[in-house]
């Protein structure tokens, strides 16, 4: 997909068939942020446009207030995530008709990481986890089912993150040509918290980081 400017408050979105090397759709929209569904059947923009690629049908969703927000569609089609510049995460149904949750994190006003630059954002394969790169070197995670953040942003590489993606419950980050992995299964998350704290994880910490699994001693 290629974007070209067409005025201060709008952008021309050009959707390309890269195999045939030709434009298949073109439409005006005031947001420069957009995402494809995994099946490549539709494109959705942060300002509320949804284009069906085979027909060119254009529908306006309820996301019209969010032209500068980051967004991601879950692979299973259940969720649309919209991350505002304020750091608040909006979780919508897959058709962007109803907002299901408004979720905080360490990125919202008054929190320690508010205002830091945000980068690539991605859902896990089952839609249960959402990740965004923060300040180029950290990752903020949310549990979409519980509607909670997984604590504070994790700095596990100490280096710039160019992009990130999930493979199951494994998060992969890319820095240049270097790929790093982080296993986000509940047992591995709990073990990491234990090692960093140098003590056993408390029930309160367990509920914050691993809300979907019953508490047990690890250290």
Q: What CATH number does the domain containing 123 carry?
A: 2.130.10.10
- Check residue 218 and give its pLDDT: 59
Q: Are residues 25 and 123 in the same domain?
A: no
pLDDT at 213: 66
Same domain, 55 and 115: no
Q: Are residues 153 and 82 in the same domain?
A: yes
147 and 41, same structural domain? no
Rounded CA-CA distance 135/142 in Å is: 17
Number of domains in the chain: 2
In-domain check, residue 38: yes
In the prediction, which pLDDT does 4 show?
33
- 84 within a domain of the structure (yes/no): yes
Are residues 45 and 75 both part of a single domain? no
* The pLDDT value given to residue 3: 37
pTM, to two decimals: 0.75
Kindly state the tokens that stand for 3.
């974007």
Residues 52 and 77 in one domain: no
Residue-level pLDDT at 132: 93
Q: Do 85 and 58 have their domain in common? A: no
Mean pLDDT split into 10-residue runs, the chain, 219 residues:
40 83 85 81 87 89 77 91 91 92 90 88 91 88 85 78 89 89 74 65 72 67
One domain, residues 133 and 30: no
Same domain? For 39 and 77 the reply is no
Whole domain around residue 41: which residue ranges? 1-64
Do 131 and 156 have their domain in common? Answer: yes
């Amino acid at each position: 997909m290629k974007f070209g400017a067409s005025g201060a408050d709008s952008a021309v979105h050009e959707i390309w068939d890269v195999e045939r090397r030709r434009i298949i759709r073109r439409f005006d929209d005031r947001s420069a942020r957009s995402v494809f569904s995994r099946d490549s059947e539709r494109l959705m923009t942060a300002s509320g446009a949804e284009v069906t690629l085979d027909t060119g049908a254009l529908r306006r969703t309820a996301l019209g207030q969010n032209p500068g927000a980051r967004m991601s569609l879950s692979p299973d089609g259940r969720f649309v995530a919209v991350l505002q510049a304020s750091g608040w995460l909006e979780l919508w149904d897959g058709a962007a008709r109803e907002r299901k949750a408004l979720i905080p994190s360490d990125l919202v006003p008054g929190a320690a990481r508010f205002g830091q630059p945000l980068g690539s954002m991605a859902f896990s394969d089952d839609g249960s986890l959402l990740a965004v790169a923060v300040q180029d070197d950290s990752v903020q995670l949310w549990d979409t089912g519980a509607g909670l953040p997984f604590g504070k942003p994790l700095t596990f590489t100490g280096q710039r993150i160019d992009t990130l993606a999930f493979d199951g419950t494994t998060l992969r980050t890319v820095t240049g040509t270097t790929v790093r992995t982080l296993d986000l299964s509940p047992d591995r998350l709990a073990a990491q918290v234990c090692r960093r704290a140098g003590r056993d994880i408390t029930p309160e910490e367990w509920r914050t980081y691993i809300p979907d699994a019953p508490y047990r001693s690890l250290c």
